Structure 1
């Protein structure tokens, strides 16, 4: 539970409320509630899958069981892109927050004016990444203990902030200031989702990615996912309420463009200082290091388990599935470090990268509702410690929600991830060509045929839509089109799943390998 909660409470809590309020005003509360509902449905889907199939890198394995290795790679590749990008993004958030401390910026500037890292910032960021690597190499037990200590702090500080701000600065009139409750209409509510809201609430699946290292995953994984999601959702909604109520009403007279003052980066620290509680501001600056760093630490572990899973499936070079004497995928961890370092090159700001990662996360999540339905039909006898209620209603509804998040993440994010998917397919094809003929597993091309039309049409809808597109599709009609297309894809994909015999063979092969060589089973 702490692994999932530690992923949910990261830089998103420090920056998400301000970003959402600037786009949606007080109606940003609706954004949080809407995101919470969609992600809660997806979390319930993952809770059943994680408990029924407790394997490392589960988000790559579930689609592979249901649709074959090509589908597993498509989901796993997107999950890996998401996970490997998160650690450097969290580090950049830490440095961005810290750079706004006066004496730090004067003596040790960490960022250039365009938001990219200075030489000093690059060194500090690399030190953070090295610390993450060392903790991960030592082993999952040390990782879990380190994360647990961080999560206690990461949960306490937001709760303390909520209580202090609500007691000292509660301006109820702010909910109708600056143009009313919803100054930017429904468009603002939806635009806020990929700009930090969904990013903040994501992370519940981390317990599933590390399920192969749990003592009793059948019992614990579903409880961990659901509990972490509930706690994270409650904290974030209360934080947005506290943020809006703590704002100076005078700053909202002309709208929500700069609710805490132009150039302010640390919203809660600024509000705490204005309320006369400087001690809380300094605690928040400390948390700006601890919260994102704790999340980055977990995502290094996640990205390495995903590449490990893809190596085990022989869709990436088998070397990434090698483990150390400590039982950790050492090569995969080193790859995560190298890619993380590359992310520190002059890329866009935190908020722009968040939209890209949010879409990658939504694509990763979208495979699960289809996989759960297909596996219920093809593998009905498997013990399921947790069962998603009303499967035939909630599974398609959660798939629709994931597709709406993809659409709202903007066309720019969609086409960039389309290019990334093509790069992944090239890597997949080259690796398959280098495998001995006897080791090439059957691709089940027919079962994965739905993937590329699904995402290709989503890119076209994005190009014609209102979120980074050319606004050809009218408001609300775009949402209806996405929902209808998602339902068509859902039912077609379920009908194309592999046979029960193939599902059982894939699951049994996985279980047999874990029994003979439990490389990542470090519970003892």
Structure 2
């Protein structure tokens, strides 16, 4: 029989008093926008058009809608519990330590790779005037010894900026974000004014609107950097414990950043399609459009696709600005993710299913141990291990999979803590629609990413569970109950995604990926739809009872919220 006893609202379980509340409305929004507009905006339009042709415009719209659903689910949670590192902490409240470690591990390892990837983007563009930074080996750029040292130094700069605290970081980031926003608007305006060939969008001479059908449109969402670009919305959750007005700022950031950047990216995609030289399309179709730019100058090609088009159109000055932005945009995003990675491991330390030292905060309100760990692990990505760059492909799956816990916790909390104050609350019917669509969007993006990347993701998850066992076996610190029974749905969810991905036909362009190709686009979408419903049903059945949730929240408050600052 359901418990009908009235329960008071649970107090905030340690409201991150040691973290400074220095993010205002603009500061938090710009952190998300700056995170979304990284190195991807310089290449996303080209890569999306190669997979979907002009229908890439639809790909950006689909991606934005999916992440608005995900953002809406976190908007309610983020105002209920405005805690830094929320993606890793919310599953802990509803499902216990095993579930929160699983999702936290995926979130952390994916985030830890972003800052070094942005560093490599900076170094690669800088190599045009500093050729001693990289060599070409087997057709791929590889860091030289000096290049590795410079990369480590740049990672050090990212970490150092974060060490100065939120307020100093916010001021620098706001300036850089204004630059990035103006650059995108400028590129759109210049391209549309100098070349706008409407025939590129639908004429049979250029392949029509959707030359690669629906499969290309949806594949672009996962594989062309579209989903990866929108990941930056997460800053509204990860930094929720450091904003002065969570009720207003968290929902505004989570949804507003996706809408703003979605409009810009769609406009950029339209401008790119209209401005691409016609001969580059007719040579071999959209799938090879990037290889067929002809500008009369080999140097322009090194700037990247947008700068190459600017050079072809005669706007050499714009190409120069884009060349500079190829350093500024990745640099700003790398700086943001260095701090975000630290907040995730900080959250795992707060959950006590990772070393407690990760939750130590200095006098500037910075989780300094977690920040140092982010630096050390980030530098490992610069090592020239064979095939190391191929591991980067799992970031999309790992990150979006960790987001999938948000809508599940959202629905579980409606049953577990119905009286809890919700400053931002979805309607009783809307919450089910948003929760289902958010999780289905998550599952679809993982499926579209392809088996060639997903098998690495699930292998990495096995490694994470091995580390959890080792931590529980050898760590001397007190750790919470695993609540393994409450996390059984995670095994079903992951196993279902692995099976669907293995049976599916993504990636379509790689015959050696190892997947069977039994499920086409429609069957794969139907399979993920069924898995979404099954996962939600199992999760709600196994969710912790109300008294256990209250116990976890109270324990978190007494363990960290009221204690002295840890230095």
TM-score (norm 2): 0.87
Q: Does 1:416 align with 2:442?
A: no
| Structure 1: tracts of 5 or more residues without a match | none
- Asked if the contact 1:89/1:350 (under 8 Å) is kept, the reply is no
**Which of 337, 341, 356 is residue 299 of structure 1 equivalent to?**
337
Deviation at 1:453, TM superposition (A): 2.0
Residue equivalent to 2:286: 256
Distance 1:47 1:110 in 2: 45
Q: Does 1:479 align with 2:525?
A: yes
Deviation at 1:136, TM superposition (A): 1.2
Correspondence 1:83-162 to 2 at 5 A: 83-99=111-127, 101=128, 103-105=129-131, 109=134, 112=137, 113-162=139-188
Distance 1:381 1:436 in 2: 37
Root-mean-square deviation (CA, aligned residues, Å) is 2.2
Distance 1:117 1:147 in 2: 28
Residue equivalent to 1:498: 544
Distance 2:488 2:351 in 1: 19
Change over 3 Å in CA distance of 1:119–1:111 after alignment to 2: farther
Distance 2:410 2:344 in 1: 19
- Asked if the contact 1:359/1:405 (under 8 Å) is kept, the reply is yes
**Which of 462, 467, 480 is residue 441 of structure 1 equivalent to?**
480
**Which of 301, 310, 315 is residue 353 of structure 2 equivalent to?**
315
- Asked if the contact 2:233/2:254 (under 8 Å) is kept, the reply is yes
Deviation at 1:244, TM superposition (A): 0.6
Residue equivalent to 1:231: 260
Residue equivalent to 1:372: 410
Distance 1:142 1:130 in 2: 16
- Asked if the contact 1:93/1:350 (under 8 Å) is kept, the reply is no
**Which of 225, 232, 252 is residue 203 of structure 1 equivalent to?**
232
Aligned to 2:269, what secondary structure does the other structure show? helix
Residue equivalent to 1:267: 305
Distance 2:61 2:305 in 1: 21
- Asked if the contact 2:99/2:490 (under 8 Å) is kept, the reply is yes
Deviation at 1:327, TM superposition (A): 2.5
Change over 3 Å in CA distance of 1:409–1:239 after alignment to 2: same
Distance 2:386 2:500 in 1: 25
Output one character per residue of 1:227-266: Cα deviation in whole Å (capped at 9) or x when no partner.
Answer: 2111111111111111111101111113013324458461
Q: Does 1:192 align with 2:220?
A: yes
Q: Does 1:72 align with 2:100?
A: yes
**Which of 379, 385, 405 is residue 423 of structure 2 equivalent to?**
385
Deviation at 1:518, TM superposition (A): 7.2
Residue equivalent to 2:321: 283
- Asked if the contact 2:52/2:216 (under 8 Å) is kept, the reply is yes
Residue equivalent to 1:29: 57
Residue equivalent to 1:60: 88
Distance 2:445 2:174 in 1: 30
Aligned to 2:143, what secondary structure does the other structure show? coil
Change over 3 Å in CA distance of 1:219–1:184 after alignment to 2: same
Distance 1:70 1:255 in 2: 49
Change over 3 Å in CA distance of 1:206–1:518 after alignment to 2: farther
- Asked if the contact 1:404/1:479 (under 8 Å) is kept, the reply is yes
Further displaced range: 254-263 or 311-320: 254-263
TM-score (norm 1): 0.94
Output one character per residue of 1:181-209: Cα deviation in whole Å (capped at 9) or x when no partner.
Answer: 11111121122122211111221011211
Distance 2:375 2:208 in 1: 46
Change over 3 Å in CA distance of 1:330–1:108 after alignment to 2: closer
Correspondence 1:346-361 to 2 at 5 A: 346=384, 355-361=393-399
Deviation at 1:512, TM superposition (A): 4.3
Output one character per residue of 1:358-388: Cα deviation in whole Å (capped at 9) or x when no partner.
Answer: 1111111111010100012211222212123
**Which of 486, 493, 504 is residue 454 of structure 1 equivalent to?**
493
Residue equivalent to 1:395: 435
Change over 3 Å in CA distance of 1:198–1:351 after alignment to 2: farther
Output one character per residue of 1:417-437: Cα deviation in whole Å (capped at 9) or x when no partner.
Answer: 111111111221222223458
- Asked if the contact 1:260/1:271 (under 8 Å) is kept, the reply is no
Change over 3 Å in CA distance of 1:274–1:347 after alignment to 2: farther
- Asked if the contact 1:218/1:385 (under 8 Å) is kept, the reply is yes
Aligned to 1:115, what secondary structure does the other structure show? strand
Output one character per residue of 1:99-122: Cα deviation in whole Å (capped at 9) or x when no partner.
Answer: 4x4x444x6546654133233332
- Asked if the contact 2:353/2:479 (under 8 Å) is kept, the reply is no
Aligned to 1:258, what secondary structure does the other structure show? helix
Output one character per residue of 1:380-407: Cα deviation in whole Å (capped at 9) or x when no partner.
Answer: 2222121234011111111011000011
Further displaced range: 126-135 or 174-183: 174-183
| Structure 2: tracts of 5 or more residues without a match | 1-28, 294-300, 508-514
- Asked if the contact 2:90/2:409 (under 8 Å) is kept, the reply is yes
Further displaced range: 215-224 or 143-152: 215-224
Distance 2:75 2:392 in 1: 25
